[in-house]
């Protein structure tokens, strides 16, 4: 039961206010309206009575992490009338990891349901797939597909979420469960309270580490080298070779692919995006790769402009030996390549009473599935449907959350399994 209901309530009057029946609670002969701030300064979620049942129609929800998963969830839950705040540790606008996104039906559905954009407006169409063989032959097959970029989607979602409820430079370090609410602690020493906490804080989630300390990501045995080149900077032969196609080359212990995506800062321009998977089994080698010249060690991604020139040079030499000429040329003209180790993450549970894990904090399917963002969109849409408080008590919501969890666990397990199978099929992560 919710916190206010534990107070010494003497009587309750109902009165209509906008479309919510706010009740005025008599506490020690003083009337207080719910949905307002109480004398102790705490937000009171709005609840009302219907056929003798106590219903809540506005909960205070804190989302930790303001990347795509957090924004998708924040937008969807606000539409259900909840007071949603997003807390993001980064101080400024998040920059993409340079990679593109294959548009999947759940992303399209989300954008459509929230009137944010049509997929045509945010994507680059491709007509074919081409498979480049070791002997130089090329197999082509017609396969129309729409590609977008992380950045394009991020900007649309940021515009759709009210900036006053998006709190940057707020790194969560911990949370404490009090009787009926959660107190969230930030690195800057501040604290906020919420009825529910949603962890959208990615693969290294601090929230998951607290509720599920035994689960952690496991390295898959290979990394993805990544980069993009603006269309204006592409020599004609490279442009013609890759234009309008999703291109693949499968080598021994490595695989490369490329496709065009919208540009970072201009809606009119496009860029060619490539991803080169390479098996690196030796953990020391990986550790060395992920450590910058000034000694900083990154676990999940080494951002652009952090790779030492010597590493980029060695990688270009490797490309010459291993890849078909068009890809070698593409890598040679890429200005700031970067590297991301591939990790697997799978959780056995996503709902922990009033704490919910979603997006990459729960399951990280390998990039071959192109499903990270669409999974987050599905998590968010279904969660918002669960949080529809019309005719629902908190106890009923808790029951619904368990149903949500069953569905989301099924999807997460399916996608992570598929990602591993695709990695194995491409002979990545082990040597032969
Ligand atoms: C900057 C960035 C760029 C990306 N670029 C691409 C891309 O180009 N292509 C692609 O396919 N996928 C990309 N991804 C991954 C993709 O966004 C995710 O797979 C998908 O959107 C679901 O992830 P998520 O939002 O759950 O987690 P993530 O995208 O990992 O976001 C987690 C967020 O939580 C924040 N956070 C972490 N810890 C804390 C804390 N303690 N307190 C507060 N905030 C915290 C992080 O700063 C981050 O913004 C990117 C992710 C990020 C963060």
What whole-number distance in Å separates Cα of residue 9 and Cα of residue 1? Answer: 14
Element containing residue 359 per DSSP (H, E): none
pLDDT at 22: 37
pLDDT at 46: 56
CA of 167 to the centre of ligand 1 (A): 15
What 3-state class would DSSP assign to 395? helix
Residue 249 and residue 132 in contact, taking contact as beta carbons nearer than 8 Å: yes
What whole-number distance in Å separates Cα of residue 259 and Cα of residue 126? Answer: 8
CA of 90 to the centre of ligand 1 (A): 11
For residue 368, pLDDT beyond 50: yes
Query: Using one digit for the tens of pLDDT, what is the confidence trace for 37-94?
Result: 333 434 445 555 555 555 567 899 999 999 999 999 999 999 999 999 999 999 988 8
Say what the pTM is. 0.88
Which residue has the least CA distance to atom 2 on ligand 1? Answer: 96
Structural domains of the chain, ranges and CATH numbers in brackets: 3-58 (no CATH), 61-92+168-216+345-425 (3.50.50.60), 100-149+218-343 (3.30.9.60)
Cα–Cα nearest to 395, from 5, 74, 9: 5
Q: Is 68 in the pocket of ligand 1 (CB under 6 A)?
A: yes
Q: Residue 103: CB partners within 8 Å, gap ≥ 6?
A: 119, 122, 123, 145, 146, 147, 148
Q: Which residues pair with 150 in a beta bridge?
A: none
Q: Which residues of 231-261 are buried (b: 16+ CB within 10 A; e: fewer)?
A: eeebeeebeebbeebbbbbbbebbbbbbbbb
Q: Is 411 in the pocket of ligand 1 (CB under 6 A)?
A: no
Nearest atom in ligand 1 to the alpha carbon of residue 200 is 26
Which residue in the block uniquely carries the two structure tokens 């030996």?
A: 321
CA of 187 to the centre of ligand 1 (A): 19
Residue 373 φ/ψ, nearest 5 degrees: -75, -40
Query: Using one digit for the tens of pLDDT, what is the confidence trace for 203-253?
Result: 999 999 999 999 999 999 999 999 999 999 999 999 999 999 999 999 988
Q: Residue 220: CB partners within 8 Å, gap ≥ 6?
A: 341, 342, 343, 344, 366, 420, 423, 428, 429
Nearest atom in ligand 1 to the alpha carbon of residue 360 is 26
What 3-state class would DSSP assign to 146? strand
Greater confidence (87 vs 432) lies with 87
What whole-number distance in Å separates Cα of residue 294 and Cα of residue 314? Answer: 20
Query: Using one digit for the tens of pLDDT, what is the confidence trace for 381-420?
Result: 999 999 987 778 888 999 999 999 999 999 999 999 999 9
pLDDT at 27: 39
Q: Is 206 in the pocket of ligand 1 (CB under 6 A)?
A: yes
For residue 33, pLDDT beyond 70: no
Residue 207 and residue 359 in contact, taking contact as beta carbons nearer than 8 Å: no
Strands 138-149 and 124-132, by their bridges, are antiparallel
pLDDT at 204: 96
What 3-state class would DSSP assign to 211? helix
Which residue has the least CA distance to atom 38 on ligand 1? Answer: 201
Q: Is 158 in the pocket of ligand 1 (CB under 6 A)?
A: no
Q: pLDDT-derived band of residue 6, with 50, 70 and 90 as boundaries?
A: very low
pLDDT at 53: 58
Q: Which residues of 176-210 are buried (b: 16+ CB within 10 A; e: fewer)?
A: eeeeebbebebeeeeebbbbbbbbbbbbebbbbbb
> Mutation test of ligand 1: which of 86, 96, 202 has the most ligand atoms closer than 8 Å to its C-beta?
202
Query: Using one digit for the tens of pLDDT, what is the confidence trace for 252-301?
Result: 889 999 999 988 666 678 999 999 999 999 989 999 999 888 888 898 98
**Token reading at 204:** 């290294």
Which residue has the least CA distance to atom 24 on ligand 1? Answer: 69
What whole-number distance in Å separates Cα of residue 288 and Cα of residue 64? Answer: 31
What whole-number distance in Å separates Cα of residue 89 and Cα of residue 53? Answer: 39
Residue 130 and residue 154 in contact, taking contact as beta carbons nearer than 8 Å: no
Strand order in the sheet with 138-149: 100-102, 138-149, 124-132, 245-251, 254-262, 270-279, 218-230, 338-344
Q: Residue 259: CB partners within 8 Å, gap ≥ 6?
A: 100, 124, 126, 147, 242, 245, 246, 247, 272, 273
Q: Which residues pair with 356 in a beta bridge?
A: 198, 351
Which residue has the least CA distance to atom 3 on ligand 1? Answer: 96
Greater confidence (366 vs 32) lies with 366
Greater confidence (341 vs 265) lies with 341
Greater confidence (330 vs 28) lies with 330
For residue 9, pLDDT beyond 80: no
Nearest atom in ligand 1 to the alpha carbon of residue 171 is 42
Residue 390 and residue 231 in contact, taking contact as beta carbons nearer than 8 Å: no
Strands 138-149 and 100-102, by their bridges, are antiparallel
Q: Which stretch of 153-157, 193-197, 295-299, 333-337 has the lowest confidence by average pLDDT?
A: 295-299
For residue 350, pLDDT beyond 90: yes
For residue 96, pLDDT beyond 50: yes
Which residue has the least CA distance to atom 49 on ligand 1? Answer: 67
What whole-number distance in Å separates Cα of residue 157 and Cα of residue 148? Answer: 14
Nearest atom in ligand 1 to the alpha carbon of residue 99 is 8
> Sign of the C-alpha dihedral, residues 85, 90, 93, 95?
negative
Residue 221 and residue 428 in contact, taking contact as beta carbons nearer than 8 Å: yes
Query: Using one digit for the tens of pLDDT, what is the confidence trace for 134-186?
Result: 888 999 999 999 999 888 899 999 999 999 999 999 999 999 988 788 999 99
For residue 351, pLDDT beyond 70: yes
Cα–Cα nearest to 340, from 226, 426, 216: 226
Greater confidence (115 vs 292) lies with 115
CA of 202 to the centre of ligand 1 (A): 5
Q: Is 171 in the pocket of ligand 1 (CB under 6 A)?
A: yes
């Amino acid at each position: 039961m919710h916190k206010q209901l534990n107070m010494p309530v003497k009587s309750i009057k109902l009165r209509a206010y906008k479309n919510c029946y706010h009740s005025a609670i008599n506490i020690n002969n003083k009337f207080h309206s719910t949905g307002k701030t109480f004398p102790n300064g705490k937000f009171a979620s709005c609840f009302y009575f219907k056929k003798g049942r106590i219903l809540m129609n506005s909960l205070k929800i804190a989302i930790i992490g303001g990347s795509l998963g957090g924004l998708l969830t924040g937008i969807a839950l606000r539409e259900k009338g909840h007071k949603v705040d997003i807390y993001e540790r980064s101080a400024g606008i998040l920059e993409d990891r340079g990679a593109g996104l294959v548009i999947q039906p759940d992303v399209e559905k989300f954008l459509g349901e929230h009137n944010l954009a049509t997929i045509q407006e945010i994507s680059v169409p491709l007509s074919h797939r081409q498979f480049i063989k070791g002997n130089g032959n090329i197999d082509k097959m017609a396969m129309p597909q729409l590609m977008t970029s992380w950045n394009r989607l991020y900007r649309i979602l940021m515009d759709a979420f009210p900036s006053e409820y998006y709190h940057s430079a707020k790194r969560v370090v911990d949370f404490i469960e009090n009787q009926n609410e959660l107190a969230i602690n930030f690195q800057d020493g501040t604290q906020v309270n919420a009825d529910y906490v949603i962890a959208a804080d990615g693969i290294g989630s601090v929230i998951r580490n607290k509720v599920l300390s035994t689960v952690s990501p496991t390295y898959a045995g290979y990394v993805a080298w990544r980069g993009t080149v603006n269309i204006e900077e592409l020599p004609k032969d490279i442009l013609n070779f890759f234009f309008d196609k999703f291109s693949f080359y499968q080598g021994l212990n490595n695989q490369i692919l490329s496709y065009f995506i919208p540009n970072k800062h201009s809606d009119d321009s496009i860029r060619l995006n490539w991803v080169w998977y390479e098996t690196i089994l030796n953990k020391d080698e990986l550790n060395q790769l992920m450590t910058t010249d000034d000694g900083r060690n990154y676990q999940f991604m080494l951002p652009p402009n952090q790779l030492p020139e010597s590493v980029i040079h060695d990688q270009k030499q490797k490309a010459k030996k291993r890849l078909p000429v068009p890809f070698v040329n593409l890598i040679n003209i890429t200005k700031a390549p970067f590297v991301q180790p591939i990790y697997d993450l799978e959780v056995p549970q996503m709902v922990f009473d009033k704490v919910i894990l979603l997006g990459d904090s729960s399951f990280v399917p390998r990039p071959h599935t192109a499903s990270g963002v669409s999974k987050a969109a599905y998590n968010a849409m279904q969660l918002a449907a669960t949080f529809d408080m019309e005719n629902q008590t908190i106890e009923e919501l808790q029951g619904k959350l368990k149903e949500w969890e069953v569905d989301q666990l099924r999807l997460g397990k399916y996608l992570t399994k598929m990602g591993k199978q695709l990695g194995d099929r491409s002979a990545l992560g082990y040597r032969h």
